[in-house]
A and B are shown apart, each in its own frame.
Chain A
Amino acid sequence: MLRQWSVQASGEPEPEPAGEELWEQEMERRCSSQEPVRLLPYAMVDKRFIRQLREPEGVKTSCWQQWRHRQQTAGRRLGEAARRLARGCGLWEGALYEIGGLFGTGIQSYFTFLRFLLLLNLLTLLLTTSFVLLPLTWLRPPDRGPALNFTLQCPGGHQPQTGVPKFNNLLWNVLTGRAFNNTYLFYGAYRAGPESSSVYSIRLAYLLSPLACLLLCFCGILRRMVKGLPQKMFLGQDYRSPLSAKVFSSWDFCIQGQEAATIKKHEISNEFKVELEEGRHLLMVQHQTRAQRACHLLTYLRVNILIGLLVVGAISAIFWATKYSQDNKEESLFLLLQYLPPGVIALVNFLGPLLFVFLVQLENYPPNTEVNLTLIWCVVLKLASLGMFSFSLGQTLLCFGRNKTSCESYGYNACDYQCWENSVGEELYKLSIFNFLLTVAFTFLVSLPRRLLVERFSGRFWAWLDREEFLLPKNVLDIVEGQTVTWMGLFYCPLLPLLNSIFVFLTFYIKKYTLLRNSRASPRPFRASSSIFFFQLVLILGLLLAAVPLGYVVSSIRSSWDCGLFTNYSAPWQVVPELVALRLPPPSQRILHYLGSHAFSFPLLILLSLVLTVCVSQSQASARAIRGLRKQLVWQVQEKWHLVDDLSRLMSEPGSGDSLGPASPHSRGSRPRSFCPGFPCPGSPGPRASRPEPSLEDPNGLRGVRVPARSCRFPSGSEL
């Protein structure tokens, strides 16, 4: 090495084989580039060597450089710490690692998702507490003035219930939320003085914090979703993950243990076989006649329409259950009726997927289509049931589509409900608790006995029953449902995120216990990346489902006359114009008016459309360029082949071949040499500076080395 460099320094040209020239070019490139040494793909000895070349020991680095180096290291450490913090402060790292080792990264991603949800809930809670609760307790606004002393004109003369329950059992009160009626858990207990007299507007804070939380959660989820997005479909290939990427990234290096490895190998083998079958099926489909294609389409429609009808039936059951429960609030079967809507929702979401799987399997679709179809319908069912639940609540409390005199005069069903926001809050609270209790009950009353029985008895039935399978989509949908309910209830029940955080925290341990003790691995592998994308997508859908009613209620529905913060406003949003008029100087008011008017939104819309058009045309142009470049690459390689063939023909003619021995770099090869960017590595013709390796002895001998026809090697260290 030193010899070669000294040769160069002395300026003596020597006939070097092409390999050495390339090597020197590569070395120069590496030495002059600024990238940190740790990023180079070489062995430790080589990295040291390159570092020494860059900054030879004799040269003193200036103070400036040293300071900059220290700053860079500190910055890098800070970045790493911040990334760890964002991922959850190292919470549950050990458990996640264990699960990943035993079951692979697919199931581990579910638990990472739980951690993400916990973080979201805690952040929401933090926001609410710091902007609403703390100022409220600190500023201590005056108590509610004298109750509005007017009797409501109600048919039948009955007045709204004051909320005192017939049964005074503490447990039932806690489970239905009545015990917390006058606490900060529900909307009704919040009070504030008139806007003109207070320094800090509790109303504005209370109004904006759910909206801000939803916006922040949306951004966070979107960011994570984009990270997990499979980046292939935009180049015009069909909508499947490329098989080659799957093959290269399928082995989970986190796996330890022989059984886990065997299971993983089974999974991988199944996945490959399924993919190959899909490919064959696709080929077959492409060769179908038109009649066959029409027939295929008809069967597709048939199954979907059938399942659609089932879904419609299910959600109407939910609708009736909610109505019945609300209409018969004070009957003798009190608690059963209170929990009827959550019960029906749970039942529907339990039976639905079973039926879907059964129906879809009748049709003999390729496996991927089956699974995707079932999954889509399960998601639709879940979200539709929640949507129908909130709609039927709205119908009872706010008289959507019904004509009730009390609604028309007071804006909500004042005759039956004194404080309708509290009722909504209570319903969502019950749903949340019920979901959690169901999870616990299912684990300890179904999975655990099943495992004990299967372990104890051996017979055909028990062998067929086997342990429960850890179904990833089902678990994800359950947890997303819980989160959607929490988001729906942000306005009515501001401390619901606290409850949900506790539930998510406990769910982690319960699910971990189930996974490790009571379950067996599912035969269908769930890839981590598509899982992440799928989870975040369902979560975003849930968020949108929660945001739409919230937006509607906040902007158009009359709040209760008797409780809460917005008693004197026609809709909660009206606080904002009032505050703008009160607090802001006239120029700012004019600006805000302009921003909210049509004169601003139309130009903005036009501008956004222009930007979108530019982006789309740019991406199309790039796609065209990529296609062109690929073709060029293929032509170039073919040209190389032709040249090699011509050369070998020429050299095989007698009398011309002797001077060029097979040792020449231009020797014919059966294949053209392909130089990878990392070639040649510093280990190839060149001695080590510091290590006493045997290769140092003969740098000269390397000159005549036969550069093999099969090109690029990665010799490292002392291999030569």
Chain B
Amino acid sequence: MGGSGSRLSKELLVEYQDLTFLTKQEILLAHRWFCELLPQEHRSVEESLQARVSLEQILSLPELKRLIALHRAAVKIAMQSAWPSACNTANPFKERICRVFSTSPTRDSLSFEDFLDLLSVFSDTATPDIKSHYAFRIFDFDDDGTLNREDLSQLVNCLTGEGEDTRLSASEMKQLIDNILEESDIDRDGTINLSEFQHVISRSPDFASSFKIVL
């Protein structure tokens, strides 16, 4: 925690502030967090920027509940929970989130900059445009650029959970997906593309407040 060698340089901080929606304290805290996951000898600044953390390590982080004293209590509480809530076991989209934001060839590990991107998109000040863009990518389970029926049914299954009483029956699922496509598929090609998705989302004022992690 706050090791002597792991302080980000000023230029790097300014650059990150320029490229994301995060404030300086949030970036610093994210960096400290990230260093916690690395083995002790690799915690210098240069190595932390190059290192990658696997999905399993990230998922193990809910155990990390230590309070890190920082300037504002709100950021402290928010950031303390931000990491777990992005990728913890309670979030049904955890794998998709990690996959979307990862830049590694195998798409299963996050670097520090990927993590910053993640926090930036989920932050309060991110524009609805960018949030809806990433939401589309998260919901696109087969990564083909459109939401087809399989994507939608996987999405609904994630939302309702796997329990017997919460799962929707096959006919209900079909009715639901038919309704969704009827409302959002403007060009009637059987799939929802990015523009249609953004159009639907723009009519829902709920979206911005639910698609965020930090207050």
Contacts and interface: CB of A to CB of B under 8 A. Distances in A.
B210 A279 contact: no
A242 B203 contact: yes
Interface in B106-163: 107, 113-114, 116-117, 120, 122, 125, 127, 129-130, 133-135, 137, 139, 143-146, 152, 155-156, 158-161, 163
B168 A676 contact: no
A674 B203 CA distance: 23
A158 B190 CA distance: 85
Interface string B74-109: 100110010011101111110000000101110100
Nearest to A262: B161
B103 A243 contact: no
Interface residues of B, number: 87
Interface in A631-689: 633-634, 636-638, 641, 671-672, 674, 676-679
Interface in B161-215: 161, 163, 165-168, 172, 175-176, 179-180, 183-184, 186-191, 193-195, 197, 200-207, 209-213, 215
Contact of A272 (B176, B189, B205): B176
Contact of B85 (A254, A634, A638): A254
Interface stretch (B3-11, B13-21, B33-41): B13-21
Contact of B143 (A43, A247, A279, A714): A714
B64 interface: no
A251 B215 contact: no
B73 interface: yes
Nearest to A48: B19
A319 B186 CA distance: 56
A45 B215 contact: no
A496 B211 CA distance: 39
A712 B168 contact: no
Contacts of A96: 215
A713 B144 contact: yes
Contacts of A41: 129-130, 133-134
Contacts of A232: 203
Interface in B49-73: 72-73
A94 B215 CA distance: 9
A169 interface: no
Nearest to A719: B105
A248 B165 CA distance: 22
**Most chain A beta carbons < 10 A, residue from B93, B114, B203:** B203
Interface stretch (A144-152, A223-231, A285-293, A508-516): A223-231
Chain A residues touching B, majority SS: helix
Nearest to B144: A710
A527 B205 CA distance: 10
A101 interface: yes
A243 B187 CA distance: 18
Nearest to A36: B18
Interface of A: 36-39, 41, 43-45, 47-48, 51, 80, 90, 93-94, 96-98, 100-101, 105, 227-232, 241-258, 260-262, 265-266, 268-269, 272-273, 276, 279-280, 527-529, 532, 630, 633-634, 636-638, 641, 671-672, 674, 676-679, 693-694, 710-714, 716-719
16 contacts: A44-B103, A101-B81, A105-B206, A230-B203, A232-B203, A243-B183, A244-B183, A247-B155, A251-B158, A261-B91, A265-B159, A272-B168, A276-B179, A528-B209, A710-B144, A714-B145
Interface of B: 15, 18-21, 72-74, 77-78, 81, 84-86, 88-93, 101, 103-105, 107, 113-114, 116-117, 120, 122, 125, 127, 129-130, 133-135, 137, 139, 143-146, 152, 155-156, 158-161, 163, 165-168, 172, 175-176, 179-180, 183-184, 186-191, 193-195, 197, 200-207, 209-213, 215
